[in-house]
Amino acid sequence: MNEINKKLGELVTIVKKLRSPNGCEWDKQQTSETLIPYLLEEAYEVAESIMDNSSSHLKEELGDLLLHVVFQAVLAEEKDEFSMNDVIVSINKKLIQRHPHVFDKNLLSKDVESIKKNWELNKKNEKNRDSILDGIPKSVPSLMSSERLQDKAASVGFEWENYQDVINKIYEELEELKLGIKDNNQKNIEEELGDILIGVVNLSRFLNVSAEVAMQKANKKFYKRFTTMEKFITKDKKEIDKLSLSELDSYWKKVKDEE
């Protein structure tokens, strides 16, 4: 533990050196706001390395993300707002407060649903929020946001009883979408598509699958298959935009068969 504290302190010292008069011109010019794009990029790169199951990349990307955490803390310390030590003290305190079933020997409940309910209610009360649904950053991707909204609602009992109920609801929304398409009602079409997406996200929760991760993996699979198809077409000395849909479909099946 002392070694971790030492290395973390060394990282803080390095960032402060980069921000000093004799430091790096780029680092000296940065503000909390200008670093936001880089912070988000590093967070996504951490997620990607996890999905790629690459421990070496994960180690590197976690370091890059940690750098941004420290950088933000150093910027705040420069303005006499808080320090890196305050950040650590704060998260330690929060984790203990939000896990009384672990740290309070007088509480024996280990029920997962009770824990989730208490977690969301505690956050609502701590931050004086109007709704238990509040607190999700607006910048969070839509699928992830939908998942978190439904998690929060479910924590207080607003939840389907089983996955079959969710599937039935998705079919119901599909029928409503068909009516919107038949009536050529663009507003209804958009609304019903949104309801279907919410239903699919809800189904993913019941199946213990992250909708966001599933979508990322599906996108990656599609990219791999399509680019492989392009290579097959080029190898046959053909042009992709000159092929019919049936010909493209034939190449697509070839890609899938060779996986």
Q: Does 116 have pLDDT greater than 70?
A: no
**9 and 38 assigned to the same domain:** yes
Query: What whole-number percentage of the chain has pLDDT above 70?
Result: 96
pTM comes to 0.71
Structurally, the chain folds into a number of domains equal to: 4
Supply the CATH number for residue 56's domain: 1.10.287.1080
What is the enclosing helix (H) or strand (E) of 120? helix 112-126
Amino acid (1-letter code) at residue 207: L
Whether pLDDT at 108 is above 60: no
Q: With a cut of 80, say whether residue 113 has pLDDT above it.
A: no
Query: What secondary structure letter does DSSP report for 199?
Result: H
Q: What is the mean pLDDT of the chain?
A: 92
In angstroms, the CA 120 to CA 128 distance is: 12
Cα separation, 217 vs 225, in Å, equals 12
Are 71 and 7 contained in the same domain? yes
Contact 176, 192 (CB under 8 A): yes
Tokens of residue 244, six digits: 């019919």
Asked if residue 137 and residue 61 are part of one domain, the reply reads no
> 219 and 205, same structural domain?
no
Whether residue 201 is found in the same domain as residue 230? no
Compute the residue count for the chain. Answer: 259
Tell me the residue range of the domain where 120 lies: 104-156
CA distance 45 to 193: 30
pLDDT above 60 (res 109): no
Residues 169, 227: one domain? no
* In a shared domain, residues 56 and 42: yes
Query: What per-residue confidence (pLDDT) applies to 189?
Result: 96
Q: In this structure, are 196 and 222 located in the same domain?
A: no
According to the model, what pLDDT value does residue 254 have? 96
Q: Yes or no: say if 148 and 211 are a contact pair by the CB < 8 Å rule.
A: no
Query: Using one digit for the tens of pLDDT, what is the confidence trace for 183-195?
Result: 999 999 999 999 9
Least confident of 132-136, 175-179, 190-194, 233-237: 132-136
- Of the listed ranges 70-84, 107-121, 172-186, the least confidently predicted one is 107-121
Judged by average pLDDT, the poorest of 96-110, 116-130, 201-215 is 96-110
DSSP H helical ranges for 79-210? 84-97, 100-103, 112-126, 142-154, 163-182, 186-206
Instruction: Enter the tokens of residue 210.
Output: 């992250």
